[in-house]
Structure 1
Amino acid sequence: MADNYPNVDAANKWAKSVTSGKIPACKWVKLACQRHLDDLKKSKSRDFPYKFEPKLAEKKILFIELLPHTKGEWALKRLKIKLEDWQKFGIACTFGWIRKKDGYRRFRESYWEVPRKNGKSAIAAGVALNMFANDGEFGSEVYSGATTEKQAWEVFKPARLMVNRSPDLVEAAGILVNAGSLEIPTDGSLFEPIIGDPPDGQSPHCAIVDEYHEHADARLYDTMQTGMGARRQPLIFTITTAGFNIEGPCYDLRVRVQEMLEGVVPDEELFGWIWTIDEGDDWTDPKVLAKANPNFNVSVYADYLESQQRRAVQNASKQNTFKTKHLNVWVSAKSAFFNMEQWNKCKDTTLKIEDFRNDPCMVCVDLSSKIDIAARINLFYRIINGKIHYYCIAPRFYLPYDTVYNGDEKQVIERYQKWLNQDLLTVCDGAENDLNEIAEDITDDAENLVVQEVPYDEWGGFQIAKKVDDAGHTSIKIPKITKVFSPAMKELEAAIASGRWHHDGNPILSWMVGNVVSKKGANDTDFPHKEKPFKKIDGAVASLMGINRILTLNSSPEESNLSSHLEKHGIRKL
């Protein structure tokens, strides 16, 4: 990076230190840094649609560092804001990436999940003022939105104070400071707080959403987003701590960020990172405090955090508050069962169904609802050095037209439509999946495959079983019980970790596998479960049914064991 962009240099150097392990950070921060560094390399390719413009990033950082502190000892000493390297990185990513085709900003959403006392309000105020007076937007409208007046003013009040204490900025930009708003009369730019459900009619250039975890629904976020249609490069900047309500819109957005960072569901216009501890970390260990708190010993001090940690250890009633506010742990949330980083490493885009014409195949079907997504998984397998290798190739997913365009689960409608445009979904007319169409697809494909069995779920698949059986194939009803699914979950987990699982990278299946959490039972058993209704797992469940049958054929004497079964089909072990 050029010498005249020292803040951007510092941001990139910091990112490299995080990915190398020199700076303590959790998985989500490391992935955010790695994404930026990877994209810098990709941007050199003509096909990559984005590039990083350090001049733009530097401009935004320098503007914030011209603003004065408004709280604490720094304000008392009349010091100006000095961004830490992690803050420079977040600002640089949010504002420095642009589209090659027109030069407008890449990211339309920026999500920062940061624990308390880490300078969130100062960052949010700096971003808001940048978008209000330092973005070249004629008639800019910036709103600070929250559920209460007090919360809405948590961002607007320090921003107003910053302007009041910056006469040079007031003069240069022509800012008029009102009691409840900031204006630039020459072009009609406006910055003001909004409380509760905002009315339609605004045309936001920027919306600051503070403490999003407190929002019961997504009305404010959605209204701001839909109002941005007339803006060329708008931004929704969300800055929050963790919370308790995993049914709320903040947790949904957090899930989007996680899926984006893991590469499960690409989202090129979303920047996000989450400062927290990793799964398996001991929350009572003082060593984890620095990992979750980027301003450790800068704006939030070790002795304060350690005292809060000790109180939480000694008093169970304070544990959840400490975990959410100082470690960003959503205490109501469950961890994903499967390791998606390992899953992604199992991706092999060279897998073609034509290369497995002579390999045994389970065609697995999960049809638990006629109006919801239906999954059909082609699961081939080979025995290599005495171990089962699984090959999941060309899965198919079905949805009714009404669900894709008018479904009740708003969190996934846009995703369904995107997958439909990518020819990853088969859409059935009307309000129900066409079970006859699914059955015909299976029997047609089976003519060119060695179909051992068609496992189907007992709650809906029976409706296609007869057609499958009439075509000369063997359908197997799979009961949805722990005895069936727990061994299959453990086998899939082991196969992913050891590289015995191979898949072609289908994004719908990857999304579904990432949604699986475990419903624990006696004797450390597992059962596939979804944390929220819209986080579908049908493709994962169908895959587990196939694994169950493959394990059964490999061990059951009444099936004449796997070797004889393969010989019956003229297939040799590898």
Structure 2
Amino acid sequence: MASYPNVNAANKYARDVVAGKIAACKYVRRACQLHLDDLVKSKKRNFRWTFDRDTAEQVAVFIQLLPHAKGKWAALRELIKLEPWQLFIFCSIFGWVDKKTRRRRYREVYIEVPRKNGKSVLAAGVGLYMLVMDGEFGAEVYCGATTERQAWEVFKPARQMVRRTPELVEAFGIQVAAKNLSVIGDESKFEPLIGDPGDGQSPSCAIVDEFHEHTSAALYETMLTGMGARDQPMMFAITTAGYNIAGPCYLQRAQVIDKLEGTVPNDELFGIIYTIDEDDDWKDPAVLRKANPNYGVSVGAEYLLKRQADATRYPSRQNAFKTKHLNIWVSAKEAWLNMADWEACGDPTLTLDQFLGQRCWIGIDLASKSDICAVSLVFLDKVELVPGSGKWVNRWTIFCKSFLPEGAIERGGPNKAAYEAWANAGLLEVCDGEEMDFDLVRDMVGEFAGMFDVQEVAYDKWRATQLAHQLQKDGAEVVEMGGGVASMNLPMRELEAALLSGRVRHCSDPVLAWQAGNVVVRPFKGCITPMKADEGKTDMRKIDGIVAALMAMNRAMVSEFEPEGLLASLTEDDLLAM
């Protein structure tokens, strides 16, 4: 009977993380939970993927036959011993395969881990395995970076591992050159790549180390598009956190979070992020172990405690400590909503038919003719949060219908797979052609007018004037709104409070959840307005459904709340903006 000690250790790590026996942030817990869930799903005939324990075990064994290339273990000529978290990563990315084709599941891998946690072992190990063990004839493995120094951070350890393992050289006929590893038999190669690579390569594996240093996605995208001729290529990005939220690394990180949180499905992306949670105190020594999976192994407790004490004592050192040792993107604008609170307020059994005849307010955000536009419905009622208490509070119920032109799906870039999945599931209303047909929005509002007691329809004055005139002719009570603090501060503050106290309901629409997670705030003298996390940069993080809901909430608050209470809650800037 085959033995799988490394696979068993990897799966035990996942179980221990989920059970809380190993300190880990929510993103690591989600990565482990997804793996365990898929192990259960893989037993069902209609699940596409299966976990190949033989391949996963083979990868782990291969890596642990390599010698250390850095530090005290290299001086002692010791072989690599993978820690459970590293086994989990290796076994996950190589063990999951398609049931029919047996081709590897994960084509893109994103690993975010703080400094001194053995990144070179992961990256160099992946590169060498893909060079000689992946079964790809004429394999091309590249370690890409923006500078020569960074490119060598992966290639140099890999080259040293090969030089110190003559059995590996002999077994596969590896030729070790100054800037290249090659396999003479099939002309496979492993080499560093610096800057924009052009379009000549056909990589079977591309390793991007310290992805946060890249100011553009040119290298990543060129490598990714060059993989078209390969059967099971791998794009492998490994990095610490950084400062540039406009860069490609932060966007990739956001896609990983979307996948981990279940808002955007992506079966071929593996991601794991070692950091701390939002409510953790970065000054607490207990969080060091959570963010640093190699705590006490390659990164010493004493070293981290000293760095933490220095950062606490000297504010000038805080950003560097948080970024490099806790994986906190210190320059990233914080997400506005806590998505755990948002998820907790979800009720998949809610349907619009349950609200027939009830009063509602509608908000419309049309964005542009070639992008997502949204129609949000908001219902407001009174409930007793604690039955029998006699204390009644306002409760909000939010629905959203999102529209997208067919051409925008094809141009969706990183969002394309999600758009297609949502459209197929009936969660996106798709219209033919390249541009949005606003008559569909008009017809839907008219349909809602026949179903509910629509009080007002709020619209964005910058884009929906023509539609507003048409709706007015249809008999709707339309209200023009802007996006400043006068319109947005009050409903944003109310939605924040309502989520915390459980006074919100929604139908767990993944499209709306994705947009909720994309909202960051633009502060101004104590007031806030919503903006996209990638405002003016990639423009792929849509928020239209939430903006439409906030417009509707604004009108409901103005109509239903006591005028005295409303005015008392306004700031001086709110009043001036009116």
Alignment TM-score > 0.5, same fold: yes
Which residue in 2 is equivalent to 1:65?
A: 64
Superimposed CA distance per residue, residues 102-145 of structure 1 (whole angstroms, 9 cap, x where no aligned partner):
22111111111111111101211011111111112222211111
* In 2: Cα distance, 1:438 partner to 1:44 partner: 43
Are 1:548 and 2:554 matched, yes or no? yes
From 491, 494, 508, the counterpart of 1:488: 491
Structure 1: segments with no counterpart, 5+ residues = 559-574
Bigger Cα displacement from structure 2, 445-454 vs 208-217: 445-454
Q: Which one-letter code corresponds to 1:12 in the other structure?
A: N
8 Å Cα contact 1:118/1:300 also seen in 2: yes
RMSD: 2.4
Q: Which one-letter code corresponds to 1:236 in the other structure?
A: M
* Aligned 1:364-379 pairs, distance under 5 A: 364-379=363-378
SS of corresponding position for 1:7: helix
From 507, 511, 516, the counterpart of 1:508: 511
SS of corresponding position for 2:451: coil
8 Å Cα contact 2:362/2:549 also seen in 1: no
8 Å Cα contact 1:143/1:192 also seen in 2: yes
SS of corresponding position for 1:447: helix
Are 1:171 and 2:177 matched, yes or no? no
Which residue in 1 is equivalent to 2:27?
A: 28
Cα distance 1:487–1:45, how it changes in 2: closer, same or farther (>3 A)? farther
Cα offset, 1:384, TM superposition: 3.4
Are 1:261 and 2:253 matched, yes or no? no
Are 1:519 and 2:522 matched, yes or no? yes
* In 2: Cα distance, 1:103 partner to 1:403 partner: 33
Superimposed CA distance per residue, residues 41-85 of structure 1 (whole angstroms, 9 cap, x where no aligned partner):
222222322222222111111110000001111011110000111
Q: Which one-letter code corresponds to 1:238 in the other structure?
A: A
Superimposed CA distance per residue, residues 3-35 of structure 1 (whole angstroms, 9 cap, x where no aligned partner):
811111111212222222222211211111111
Cα offset, 1:424, TM superposition: 4.1
SS of corresponding position for 1:38: helix
SS of corresponding position for 2:523: coil
SS of corresponding position for 1:324: helix
Which residue in 2 is equivalent to 1:126?
A: 125
8 Å Cα contact 1:359/1:381 also seen in 2: no
Bigger Cα displacement from structure 2, 143-152 vs 348-357: 348-357
Are 1:242 and 2:241 matched, yes or no? yes
* Aligned 1:192-211 pairs, distance under 5 A: 192-211=191-210
Cα distance 1:108–1:411, how it changes in 2: closer, same or farther (>3 A)? closer
Cα distance 1:342–1:439, how it changes in 2: closer, same or farther (>3 A)? same
Which residue in 1 is equivalent to 2:15?
A: 16
Are 1:476 and 2:479 matched, yes or no? yes
Which residue in 2 is equivalent to 1:161?
A: 160
Cα offset, 1:419, TM superposition: 4.4
SS of corresponding position for 2:472: helix
Are 1:529 and 2:539 matched, yes or no? no
* In 2: Cα distance, 1:301 partner to 1:39 partner: 34
* Aligned 1:227-306 pairs, distance under 5 A: 227-306=226-305
Superimposed CA distance per residue, residues 270-304 of structure 1 (whole angstroms, 9 cap, x where no aligned partner):
11111112213222332222221111111111222
SS of corresponding position for 1:242: coil
Cα distance 1:532–1:306, how it changes in 2: closer, same or farther (>3 A)? same
Bigger Cα displacement from structure 2, 506-515 vs 373-382: 373-382
Cα distance 1:429–1:102, how it changes in 2: closer, same or farther (>3 A)? closer
Are 1:462 and 2:461 matched, yes or no? no
8 Å Cα contact 1:65/1:80 also seen in 2: yes
Cα distance 1:422–1:231, how it changes in 2: closer, same or farther (>3 A)? farther
* In 1: Cα distance, 2:117 partner to 2:27 partner: 17
Which residue in 1 is equivalent to 2:450?
A: 447
Are 1:438 and 2:438 matched, yes or no? no
SS of corresponding position for 1:98: strand
Are 1:318 and 2:317 matched, yes or no? yes
The number of aligned residues is: 553
Cα offset, 1:423, TM superposition: 4.8
SS of corresponding position for 2:50: strand
Cα distance 1:53–1:494, how it changes in 2: closer, same or farther (>3 A)? farther
Cα offset, 1:382, TM superposition: 4.0
TM-score by length of 1: 0.90
SS of corresponding position for 1:110: strand
Bigger Cα displacement from structure 2, 64-73 vs 184-193: 184-193
8 Å Cα contact 1:262/1:341 also seen in 2: no
8 Å Cα contact 1:113/1:242 also seen in 2: yes
* In 1: Cα distance, 2:369 partner to 2:135 partner: 51
SS of corresponding position for 1:519: strand
TM-score by length of 2: 0.90
Bigger Cα displacement from structure 2, 81-90 vs 21-30: 21-30
SS of corresponding position for 1:272: strand
Which residue in 2 is equivalent to 1:182?
A: 181
* Aligned 1:84-103 pairs, distance under 5 A: 84-103=83-102
8 Å Cα contact 1:367/1:459 also seen in 2: no
* In 1: Cα distance, 2:268 partner to 2:552 partner: 37
* In 2: Cα distance, 1:498 partner to 1:47 partner: 40
8 Å Cα contact 2:363/2:551 also seen in 1: yes
Cα offset, 1:427, TM superposition: 5.0
Percent identity over paired residues: 52
Which residue in 1 is equivalent to 2:544?
A: 538
Superimposed CA distance per residue, residues 170-226 of structure 1 (whole angstroms, 9 cap, x where no aligned partner):
122222222221122222211111111112132211111111111111111111111
SS of corresponding position for 2:264: coil
SS of corresponding position for 1:37: helix
Cα offset, 1:403, TM superposition: 4.7
